[in-house]
A and B are shown apart, each in its own frame.
Chain A
Amino acid sequence: MQKLIEQALAGNQRAIARLITRVENSEEMAETAVSALYPHTGRAHIVGITGSPGSGKSTLVNELAKALRKRDQLVGIVAVDPSSPFTGGALLGDRVRMRDLSGDKGIFIRSMASRGSLGGLARATSAVIKVLDAAGYDTILVETVGAGQAEVDIASTAHTTLVIEAPGMGDDIQSIKAGILEIADILVVNKADHPGASRTVRSLKTMLQLGQGMSVRHHGRLMHVRAVSPNGNEGAWKVPVQETVAVKGEGIEALLDTVLAHKAHLQATGEWLEREKVRSRQEMEQLLQARLMARLEMKVPAEEQMALITAVAERKIDPYTAVSQLFTLISSH
């Protein structure tokens, strides 16, 4: 394991790949690897790419990676696809759209199955990102599972989150719903050559303006509307709407400029550290949860747990009382 970590730090792709497998399969391996690698992490710009299935995430990742390579950056890609809730199997097909990237030693692509996680990423995704970060990849593109409205884990994992929309996916009211659109640092309307694209751009821009302070004329009278979100403050990042046609490579350079501008903004305002804190908090909470569950398994035999579960199901005790009893058992030495 120690040798594998050293080789991964030196950028050996086979070692990186094997280390990722171990980190993905075992909590203990993840602990050993991340403890050793952590001092070498924190350099990479982590860029999340999310959006509904078929919006063009993989194709966009492919194009962004090519553009980043032209700017001499080493690029790591983590692409997550869903696991079957029934068999646990998965079909990881993101590489199909990334064939242009093969043969370039400056790119490392890893497909991951979500393995039961519901937030759009896999449980081990943050650990895998750390492996790539420590191995020296400058930018890490993280592509989520095709997301609907609520898969927002990426926002606390990435520094910069791109939400990809394709034209014709719903009416204006979809764009003011809570959830995935709120986590965007950059909104991308892909397939911008399709009919309806300008309408999608317009409704997204209107949605963004609704959150910002502005003056409007209403029946001829000037009215001031106060900002509803803290992001409406002066000097804050204004979420842009960018149009791309990923299959033709159109709009990619401009999008990459915006991604890098967002990075510069985070670093200039100190928000980079704030985001690291959010990420660290979430990561620690997850690890703590996992450890609590492990301690539960250790301290309370399965039959005893089952007896409590049955008692709750039969309405003999309530779930709060049952958990209090479990908690006492966990806390005992």
Chain B
Amino acid sequence: MEGSHKPRILIAKPGLDGHDRGAKVVARALRDAGMEVIYTGLRQTPEMVVEAALQEDVDAIGLSILSGAHMPLVARIMELLAEHDMLDVPVFLGGIIPNDDVPKLKEMGVKEVFGPGASMEEIVKFIWEAVGAKAD
């Protein structure tokens, strides 16, 4: 009970689409994997996402974007993370993302992109590894 570091993961939905089922399913799965999930709800601006990540001192940031606006949203979020010296916090993405965009997103610093076919085990495993790598 004591001295254990529980991974803290932010699950946020930046942008204007109102479909939060995917974000909720992932949040729930991470909770069941023993992580502490900070869930922010719908329609977050990049500023809100980064502010929450900073105050909550999270170990990873998961973004769910289905609006098609992932390129500008992610670009702005990465910019803000850099401003706050938080690029060591891994960012992963879920939602409807065209295959062509995935390499560009990774170039921006996104660690992984999970499409509609991704399994929950895959996502949970990825986050455990990403967080483990960070918790030196």
* Contact size range, B: 35 or more
Determine if B52 is an interface residue (Cβ-Cβ < 8 Å).
Answer: yes
User: How long is the Cα–Cα vector from A87 to B84 in the complex, in angstroms?
Assistant: 32
B4 within 8 A of A: yes
A-facing mask of B32-69, CB < 8 A → 1, else 0?
Answer: 11111111110111011001101111000000000000
Asked if B21 is at the interface of the complex by the 8 Å CB criterion, the answer is no
Cα A92 to Cα B3 in complex, Å, equals 20
Contact B52 A102, beta carbon cutoff 8 Å: yes
Alpha-carbon separation in the docked complex, A83 to B31 (Å): 9
Interface residues of A in 80-116 (CB under 8 A from B): 83-84, 87-93, 95-96, 99, 102-103, 108-111, 113, 115-116
What total of A-B pairs shows CB separation below 8 Å?
91
The verdict on A20 contacting chain B, using a C-beta distance below 8 Å, is yes
Q: Are A89 and B32 in contact (CB under 8 A)?
A: yes
Roughly how many angstroms separate A249 CA and B35 CA in the complex, as a whole number? 34
A14-B84, A99-B48 in contact; A87/B31 too (CB < 8 A)?
yes
- Give the shortest distance, in Å, between A61 (CB) and chain B (any CB): 15
Q: Using an 8 Å CB-CB cutoff, how does the interface string of B1-40 with A read, 1 for contact, 0 for none?
A: 1111110100000000000000000011011111111111
Q: A17 an interface residue at 8 Å Cβ cutoff?
A: yes
Bound state CA distance, A95 and B47, in angstroms?
14
Contacts of B48 in A (CB 8 A): 99, 102-103
Query: Which residue of chain A has its CB nearest to the CB of B11?
Result: A91
- Residues of B near A84 (CB, < 8 A) are 31-32, 34
Q: Check B56 against A111 for contact (C-beta < 8 Å).
A: yes
Chain A 141-167 interface 0/1 with B at a Cβ cutoff of 8 Å (1 = within): 000000000000000000000000000
CB-defined contacts of B38 to chain A, threshold 8 Å: 92, 95, 111
Nearest CB in chain A: distance from B15 CB, A: 14
Q: Which of B5, B37, B44 contacts A90 (CB 8 A)?
A: B37
Determine the residue in chain A with the shortest Cβ distance to B56. A111
User: Would you call B1 and A116 a contact (CB within 8 A)?
Assistant: yes
Bound-complex Cα distance A17 to B84 (A): 13
Q: Interface on chain A toward B: helix, strand, loop, or mixed SS?
A: mixed
| A111 contact set on B, CB distance < 8 A | 38, 56
Q: Given A92-B38, A111-B38, answer yes or no on A20-B51 (Cβ-Cβ < 8 Å).
A: no
Contact with B along A21-37 (1 / 0, CB 8 A): 10001110000000000
Of B36, B47, B55, B86, the contact of A103 (CB 8 Å cutoff): B47
Residue A226 at the chain B interface, CB threshold 8 Å: no
Most chain B CB inside 10 Å of its own CB: which residue of A21, A87, A90: A90
In whole angstroms, what is the CA distance A27 to B55 when docked? 21
Decide: A13 and B54 in contact? CB cutoff 8 A.
yes
**A248 in the interface, Cβ–Cβ < 8 Å?**
no
Give the distance in Å from the alpha carbon of A88 to the alpha carbon of B84 in the complex.
30
Known: A89-B31, A95-B40. 17 other contacts (CB 8 A): A17-B54, A25-B6, A27-B2, A27-B3, A84-B32, A84-B34, A87-B31, A87-B32, A90-B6, A91-B37, A91-B39, A92-B39, A95-B38, A95-B41, A110-B55, A110-B56, A116-B1
- Return 15 A-B CB contacts under 8 Å, by A number: A14-B84, A16-B55, A18-B57, A26-B2, A84-B31, A90-B31, A93-B39, A93-B41, A95-B38, A95-B39, A95-B40, A96-B41, A102-B45, A111-B38, A113-B36
